Amino acid sequence: MHFSIPETESRSGDSGGSAYVAYNIHVNGVLHCRVRYSQLLGLHEQLRKEYGANVLPAFPPKKLFSLTPAEVEQRREQLEKYMQAVRQDPLLGSSETFNSFLRRAQQETQQVPTEEVSLEVLLSNGQKVLVNVLTSDQTEDVLEAVAAKLDLPDDLIGYFSLFLVREKEDGAFSFVRKLQEFELPYVSVTSLRSQEYKIVLRKSYWDSAYDDDVMENRVGLNLLYAQTVADIERGWILVTKEQHRQLKSLQEKVSKKEFLRLAQTLRHYGYLRFDACVADFPEKDCPVVVSAGNSELSLQLRLPGQQLREGSFRVTRMRCWRVTSSVPLPSGGASSPGRARGEVRLELAFEYLMSKDRLQWVTISSPQAIMMSICLQSMVDELMVKKSGGSIRKMLRRRVGGSLRRSASQQAVKSPPLLESPDTSRESMVKLSSKLSAVSLRGIGTPGTDASASDVHGNFAFEGIGDEDL
């Protein structure tokens, strides 16, 4: 996720107490929670008790006297870097201490009391599933509740995830992000205060070979079938007239497995499609539609004669990638302490092995750039699991007597990209670089661009999984 603390607020204390500075923590540009320095210090001290001081990043020290505006801004930047560093760390970022802190802070900030509510979750075909959850239930709890309502077996829950989407006027879904373990789904969707935002259940893996595991179960088969039919109807899966006729015939016969077997042979089966955006391939400012799946990013574009052209970029040929952002500062030049910055404009750039001896950077400008990078990372992780002989099948917590048994431990999470705090001394357009930190990434040398070596990370799949056709 894109963690940032873009601004501070001066707030009055409880019962008319003295004013204090609050730090707004944003996730992907949306306010997640509002916290005080003392709360973050408490988190730091708890993490230090559990993991030791040598594991933790530096935390900004206490001050004896009131802070000047410049010191408030300096502390904001230090706290932002601290939160990013903790989130990036595979141990700290997946810890229950860190994630439960963010969940509590989210609930307190949005002033949502803990109570039982009905939450609507959509299937890919638009079918609604109503589940009774607590407002304080985390993502895994809600996923389990949906699975229980659908009668999906425990050992198949790990094949599916919950996604936050924005429903467009034509009914299509624009994917915002995969819901994470540090957030409360009910609070996340209701705090956006718009009926456009929904929670959708969708399969979370990329390799269609895992379909066999899911299709063994009736509910799993129905979920895959519904998702595939919906993807075809939206035009996400590319189908010829003859293939469409065959699929229609299988639908009429309700031959779901045969339908899926045919669909698996189609271009873009199981892909996630993003909103139209702009890329610099094959030429600058080229309008494209990006899809992710089958260990690749696909870029589709329309030529002047309406001819559809596609460029496919295999994950195993991406030496590295990064997310950068352009942040317009407020009018008048450099930002002043506490002033909010403009909307973040994001770019995904990856260095691609075009031929045996030629590497080239490709850049995609899209508000969904972070989601794209997370898709890349999850495809790499899946490839590495497969290479090591592992399995993505996993058992989640079981329900006891129909209710959730809360667990102190959480599944380890791959740290998504985080954006650095902007340097206010730069020009009105500030270039930022993300750090894509995860178990399958490592730092590499400086590429021929404006990012430093610490901003760009390499891809283990580039080395570990060869392309025989090169």
Query: Which of 117-121, 386-390, 412-416, 433-437 has maximum average pLDDT?
Result: 117-121
pLDDT in tens, 247-267: 999 999 999 999 999 999 999
Give the pLDDT score at 451: 38
- Cβ-contact 33, 42 below 8 angstroms: no
CA 267 to chain centre: 24
**Over residues 87-105, mean pLDDT:** 92
Q: Using alpha carbons only, what angle is made at residue 114 by residues 184 and 204, rounded to the nearest 5 degrees? A: 20
- Considering only CA atoms, which of 28, 175, 179, 11 is closest in space to residue 108? 11
Confidence of residue 78 (pLDDT cuts 50, 70, 90): very high
Q: Are the C-beta atoms of 319 and 296 separated by less than 8 Å?
A: no
Radius of gyration of the chain (CA): 23
Residues 277-286 as b/e (b if ≥16 CB within 10 A, e otherwise) read bebbbeeeeb
pLDDT confidence band for 243 (50 / 70 / 90)? very high
Tokens of 217: 């179960």
- Per-residue pLDDT reduced to its tens digit, 398-430: 333 333 343 333 333 333 333 333 333 322 222
What pLDDT was estimated at residue 3?
Answer: 60
Q: Which residue type sits at 190? A: T
Q: Which residue has the higher pLDDT, 191 or 20?
A: 191
Close Cβ partners of 423 (under 8 Å, ≥ 6 residues apart): 430
pLDDT at 335 over 80: no
- The band of 345, judged by pLDDT with boundaries at 50, 70 and 90, is confident
Q: Is the pLDDT of residue 228 over 80?
A: yes
The β-bridge relationship of strands 296-302 and 308-314 is antiparallel
pLDDT at 467: 52
pLDDT at residue 448 is higher than 90 = no
Q: Give me the mean pLDDT over the 358-376 stretch.
A: 92
CA distances from 466 to 314, 317, 386, 399 (A): 11, 8, 14, 43
* 142-178 confidence digits (pLDDT tens): 999 999 999 999 999 999 999 999 988 877 889 998 9
pLDDT value at residue 87 = 86
pLDDT, residue 446, reads 31
Which SS3 state, helix, strand or coil, does residue 302 take?
A: strand
**Residue 70, phi then psi, degrees to nearest 5:** -65, -40
- How would residue 65 be classed by pLDDT, with cut points 50, 70 and 90? confident
